[in-house]
Structure 1
Amino acid sequence: MSSDGTAARCGPELVAPEGVEAQTCVMTGAGHTWARAYYRNTSGAELRSVLTLMGPGGRTVELHCVLAAHDEPGSCETPRAPSAGGPGAYTAVAEYAGAGPVEEAPLLLRAGSNRAPGASD
């Protein structure tokens, strides 16, 4: 937990050969939960991302982000909402695709907040 009372449960850092690096986290603090995706776009082209936070009772929040065509690190996060369960009740997933029409843009990377069974931090 950070000094401001915020805790993060993050999945692994992933890298796609097409030039996107990402890590997705479920964030909790002050009675709220939200999703945050950290990314770096080294593809040389603008990319699109959809960040989804899934919670108890079928609650889902979805946010669309645009990743500029430069390799500076960035982040995207959903709005904070009152927690409806512990941090383990939430999962976040970020999907990264090329810009342009959705039906033509291939999925480049999917990064989730859960670690593979048996993985350690």
Structure 2
Amino acid sequence: MDPGGRTTERCGPEVTSPEGIEAQTCVLTAGRDRTGEPGSPGRSASPASPANPGGSGGTVGLDTWARTYYRNETGGELLAVLSLMGPYGRTVQIHCPIGADDEPAICETPREPSRGEHTAYMAVAEFSAPANSGNRGNGGYSGHNRETEGYSAKSAESVETAPLLLRSGSNSPAPAAR
């Protein structure tokens, strides 16, 4: 990680389902700048630590989050579940309703303080059509916020889903060269 605050992105391959969903899922890490927050001591240098290599002035620790880039060409609304799995059994999960348009878009988890190396994290996005919708619509999707082991998360209430249409992961091996 560059102590200058640059975002590091580790992505799996772009994948496409026969139904028309394209996705690529990534784990991102960036420095946290606390210099403008209330109660912060300004740009005093922070000491080096495992979460803050190099101890850059004003940047305190690192944040990690998951993001999936997708395009829905199925003609119907879908539901994506994006999970960020990290060290010590910690998981952040968010449910993203996916519109029926075919424009490229993203779904991402909240940024959370990093706990361990960037390579210790992996992300998985799963796309499905809600089963209780006659036309693949979101058919009663209703999300709520909850707190799980110190992580923010969104969950769907009583959403039945049809079979999985596509799974995309950050740690999927790249296709072999031919």
The reply to whether TM is greater than 0.5 is yes
Q: 1:115: how far off?
A: 3.1
Amino acid at match of 1:51: L
- 2:36 corresponds to 1:5: no
Distance 1:62 1:104, change over 3 A: closer
What are the ranges of 5 or more consecutive residues in structure 1 without an aligned counterpart?
none
Q: Which has the higher contact order (CA 8 A, sep 6+)?
A: 1
What are the ranges of 5 or more consecutive residues in structure 2 without an aligned counterpart?
32-61, 133-158
Q: 1:99: how far off?
A: 2.3
Q: 1:86: how far off?
A: 1.2
Amino acid at match of 2:13: P
Q: Which has the larger radius of gyration?
A: 2
Q: Could you say what secondary structure the match of 2:13 adopts?
A: coil
Q: Could you say what secondary structure the match of 2:162 adopts?
A: coil
Partner of residue 98 from structure 1, selected from 104, 129, 145:
129
Structure 2 counterparts to residues 25-64 of structure 1, below 5 A: 25-30=26-31, 31-64=62-95
- Corresponding residue of 1:80: 111
- Corresponding residue of 1:21: 22
Partner of residue 108 from structure 1, selected from 159, 162, 165:
165
After superposing the two structures, state which structure 1 stretch, 98-107 or 51-60, moved more: 98-107
Q: 1:117: how far off?
A: 6.9
Distance 1:47 1:118, change over 3 A: closer
* Coordinate RMSD, CA, aligned: 2.1
Q: 1:19: how far off?
A: 1.0
Q: Could you say what secondary structure the match of 2:119 adopts?
A: helix
C-alpha offsets along residues 35-91 of structure 1, whole Å, 9 cap, x if unaligned? 000000000000000000000000000000011001100000000000001110000
Percent of pairs with identical residues: 58
Q: Which is strand-richer, 1 or 2?
A: 1
